Amino acid sequence: MQRKVTTIPATISRYTASPINSTKKRRVAGYARVSTDHEDQATSYEAQVDYYTNYIKSREDWEFVAIYTDEGISATNTKKREGFKAMIADALAGKIDLIITKSVSRFARNTVDSLTTVRKLKDEGIEIYFEKENIWTLDSKGELLITIMSSLAQEESRSISENVTWGQRKRMADGKVSFAYSRFLGLDKDKETGKIVVNPEQAETVRLIFKLFLEGMTPHSIATELTKRGIKTPGGKDVWNQQTVRRMLSNEKYKGDALLQKEFTVDFLQKKMKKNEGEVPQYYVEGNHEAIISPAVFDMVQAELAKRTKGGTRYSGVSIFSNKIKCADCGSFFGSKVWHSTDQYRKVIYRCNRKYNGEKCNTPHVTEDEVKDAFVSAYNQLVSEKADIIANVEIILRTLCVTDDLQEEKGKLEEEMAVLVEMTQNIMVENARVAQDQDEYQKRYDRLVNRYDTAKARYDEVVSAISEKEAQGEQLANFIRVLKKQDGIIREFDSSLWGCMVEFVTVGRNKEITVTFRDGREIQA
């Protein structure tokens, strides 16, 4: 018997899952995206939306659902693309049968994201049409073409990212500074010249923060004080936190300089940023713009920050007397204690923090009034020798606080390190390209690295010494400025004089109090 093959025609549309002769229309959505908010791309964005709206509505066999959009969003990953995510959610919820978009690169420049999304939709019978490449994802060749086009788009994205990164680093190497002005307190961008200018009103807040810190307050207590005064944060909020204050205290832009490339992008797809710990070059621009805080005062603050975190003991800045009163027996600082905290005899006293820890100290407690009276007495003794003291401090400034030799050594070390880095990179490149004895190469490499480490260690010592001398010089210069302004003795305690003139006070066994001033002079009250 002869075989006979009869074709049974399809009765169900593979696109709509409806009978072939059904009048049910295919539900279609469009997706439009541009990657920046620049004006020149606004036209492209509007054109895409208008084109796909009219295109879908012009087809009698299609039913218009919506145009999903993302404006000013990169396509390297889909995490922040809200329009894209809403579209996929609606499609998986059964509201969309077909998605139309301009090209694979508009959809995603990440091969993994692109294929994952296409397959997820394909499993639900939802098709995507990429107009530029003429790819229908339910077509048998669709996935192969998508893989190729997505890989090309991802490579294009990587190339663009590298070009942008190169341009940014070239700007940094040329000393061109830019930062987020809208969230930076005290500095603005001049609309006409594009240069960095000081915002006078905000600059007063910056100066206040540095002043309060040098008077003994901690970042936490400064944040509390600023909040209480109703001063807005750099982000325009009402409540300050200590991290914001600490960042401001250590930001070199306040002294007119700029450190560039503090962070860098690790992955161009995820846009992940990492703190630069030496992986890529940094660029330090001195004298880039007008300073709000003098370099010497800024360095003095950095020295104080380092001092407070050194030694493992917690610095207290609850009051102007915190970390200012020393025990003559053990050298520890006094802490505040409250007596009779709940009755009319409430009293704040200061006693050695180690008084009841281990071996008992023999120094007695003191009250704030006793410390204040001691300062007034010691200050009046100091001011009686005003002329001699000023002359002596000026000699110290001219001799012990000069950094010319250190600055010269710093410059030479910088040149030496730059040469050593270049030599190291050169032998690494040579070793990668030319076959050579690896033992000999390792010896050359180790010699260069050791020389660099030695130079870097000395460089760090010199930089630290310069900062210390400059901080000491500013401290003494400020001491002189304040002393020159004072006429005669004082009758009562002055907190501003205390903050800028006193290094610490020492309490002895018989409650004798010695005041050590910023110039190193010790006077017993």
User: Per residue in 285-322, pLDDT tens?
Assistant: 788 888 898 887 887 788 778 777 765 555 555 567 87
Query: In the prediction, which pLDDT does 345 show?
Result: 74
Q: Does residue 33 have a pLDDT over 50? A: yes
Measured from the Cβ of residue 170, the count of other Cβ atoms closer than 10 Å reads 10
Spatial distance between the Cα atoms of 353 and 385, rounded to a whole number of angstroms: 35
Residues 6+ apart with CB under 8 A from 48: 30, 32, 33, 34, 102
More confident residue, 401 or 31: 31
Q: What fold is seen in the domain 325-524?
A: Helix Hairpins (1.10.287)
Spatial distance between the Cα atoms of 18 and 11, rounded to a whole number of angstroms: 8
Spatial distance between the Cα atoms of 245 and 218, rounded to a whole number of angstroms: 9
Q: pLDDT category, 39, cuts 50, 70, 90?
A: very low
Q: Which CATH class is domain 181-309?
A: alpha beta
Contact of 261 with 280, CB cutoff 8 Å? yes
Query: In the prediction, which pLDDT does 118 show?
Result: 80
**What is the arithmetic mean of pLDDT over 40-44?**
53
Q: Does residue 356 have a pLDDT over 70? A: no
Q: pLDDT category, 77, cuts 50, 70, 90?
A: very low
Please list the alpha-helical segments (H only) found in 323-366: none
Give the domain ranges of the chain: 26-161, 181-309, 325-524
**What is the arithmetic mean of pLDDT over 215-227?**
86
**What is the arithmetic mean of pLDDT over 225-240?**
90
- Average model confidence (pLDDT) for the chain? 79
**What is the arithmetic mean of pLDDT over 514-518?**
88
More confident residue, 14 or 144: 144
- For the stretch 431-475, pLDDT in tens is 878 888 888 888 988 999 899 889 989 998 998 888 888 877 877
Q: What fold is seen in the domain 26-161?
A: Rossmann fold (3.40.50)
Spatial distance between the Cα atoms of 31 and 67, rounded to a whole number of angstroms: 6
